[in-house]
Amino acid sequence: MKTALFWIFSVAALGGAVGVVGNVRNPINSALNLVVSMLALAGLYVLLEAQFVGLIQVMVYAGAIVVLFLFVIMLLNLRGSGTSGAEVQPLVKIAGTALVAFSGLFLVRVLASGRAPWPDVDPSYGTTRAIGEALYTDYVLAVQLAGVLLLAGILAAVVLAKKRID
């Protein structure tokens, strides 16, 4: 059951990722493929007993960030005005091909290395409580720094937006 789900989610994640870059005609299709990829990744996290991370993945990435992407695409009405392959610079093309080839090789090596057993973890692993305890004891500095960073980002966004209104 778990293995079957793993394959379904993996194929969906990879297929979605290919769909994101493959859909040069319609940005909405790309965004929707991104949603599929994000949801499949969330499924993989849940399979790895990291339910909290999986749910946050759905809530933040699939539920908020890609919605904002779609919102912007709709607002700017980018229907059918994507860049076609001809306008891409040759250097970018070569770099892209090399990256894809490298990742493909890596994927083949991982798949050939045999099947690792499913993790056998205790039930408290990956729960909200365990993550909260880790975040607010061992990693509290990192959490605070991330908070400051986000605050700076919000303030910058407000300043930029306000300048345009004024």
Partner 1 sequence: MATSTVFVALFIFAVILLVFAPVMTWVERKQSALMQDRIGANRAEIFGFKALGLIHPLADVIKMITKEDTIPTGAHRFIHLISPFIAVTPAVISFAVIPFGGSYEMWDAKFSLVVADLDYGVLYLFAIGSIATYGSMLAGWAGNNNFGMLGSIRVSAQMISYEVAIGVTVIGLFMIFGTLKLSEMGVLQQQTFRVFGFMQYLGWVAPGTKWIDWITLPMWGIVLQPLPFFMFMTALMAENKRAPFDTPEGESEIVAGYFIEYSGMKFGLYMMGEWIEVVVISGLLAAMFLGGWSLPWLPEKDLIAFLSKPFGANIANLMAMLLAVHVFFGKVIVLIFFQMLVRWSMPRFRYDQVMNLGWKILLPLSLANIVLTALGILIVQEVTRA
Contact residues for partner 1, defined by CB under 8 A? 28, 32, 35, 39, 51-52, 55-56, 58-59, 62-64, 67-68, 70-71, 74-75, 77, 127-129
Nearer to partner 1, 17 or 53 (CB): 53
Cβ-based nearer residue to partner 1, 80 or 90: 80
Number of Cα atoms under 13 Å in the Cβ half of residue 78 = 18
Query: Residue 104 or residue 147: which is nearer to partner 1 going by CB?
Result: 147
Residue 140 DSSP code? H
Least distance to partner 1, CB of residue 69, Å:
10
Q: What sign has the CA pseudo-torsion 103, 106, 108, 110?
A: negative
Min CB(28)–partner 1 separation in Å: 7
C-alpha 60/C-alpha 46 separation (Å) is: 15
Contacts of 40 (CB under 8 A, 6+ apart): 8, 9, 10, 12, 13, 16
Smallest separation (angstroms) from partner 1 to the CB of 100: 27
| Residue 121 contacts residue 49 (beta carbons within 8 Å) | yes
Identity of the residue, 48 or 55, whose beta carbon is nearer to partner 1 in the bound complex: 55
- Closest CB 62 distance from partner 1, rounded Å: 6
